Homo-oligomer: A and B are copies of this chain.
Amino acid sequence: MQFSSQLLENAVNEFAKLPGIGKKTALRLVLHLLKQDTSEVSHFSEVISKMRTEIKFCQRCFNVSDGDICSICSNSLRKQDMICVVENIRDVIAIESTQQYSGTYHVLNGIISPLDGVGPDQLNIESLVARVQKEKTQEIIFALNPNIQGDTTIYYIQKKLQPFNVRVTTIARGIAFGGELEYADEMTLGRSLQNRLPVESYVSNR
């Protein structure tokens, strides 16, 4: 692509660094911003820059936060003795959007994956164990992606939690709502048969 302005080219190159944004999309975004008021574009860039410099990570659960302790950890209406363990911030947002969970979180910031060189020491696991010990947590719910790495992580953390009197559960795995039996993989279908639910509890949860 040939630009007659270095300023335009620099802006396009910056946008094109973002994941999933190619040069053509970047150009479209930049030309859109070029049509906006100067004040609006400064606001855009200020908000982005401010987000990166001022955002903090909650000292208790490692979720993103505007202060030292996030709004979920400091909310007394939430069950502070229940911890949902997730891989990253995106999972917190996904679970919060269901509006079905009223406990707190613990963001591991990754998952045990020897192939990618990620061991337990690089994750927020020690802090989780310390938290369970200190806060006398009642229940840990694992909400990790259902794959080998997720299962390894659950196994590792569960071992670490054995000395404590805490209930450890994982979110249900099975056929997704709206999914079709015939397209489910054998592992999922097999497990969902093993972990079958009494119909009364299924109906009452609806």
Contact = CB atoms under 8 A, between A and B. Distances in A.
Contact of A3 (B1, B42, B93): B93
Contacts of A18: 29, 32-33
A4 B51 CA distance: 13
Q: What is the copy number of this chain in the assembly?
A: 2
Interface size classification for chain A: 35 or more
A65 interface: yes
Contacts of A15: 48
A31 B89 contact: yes
21 contacts: A1-B97, A4-B72, A5-B66, A6-B66, A7-B50, A11-B47, A11-B51, A18-B29, A19-B32, A30-B51, A33-B48, A33-B52, A34-B51, A34-B52, A41-B48, A41-B49, A41-B53, A44-B45, A45-B45, A45-B49, A46-B49
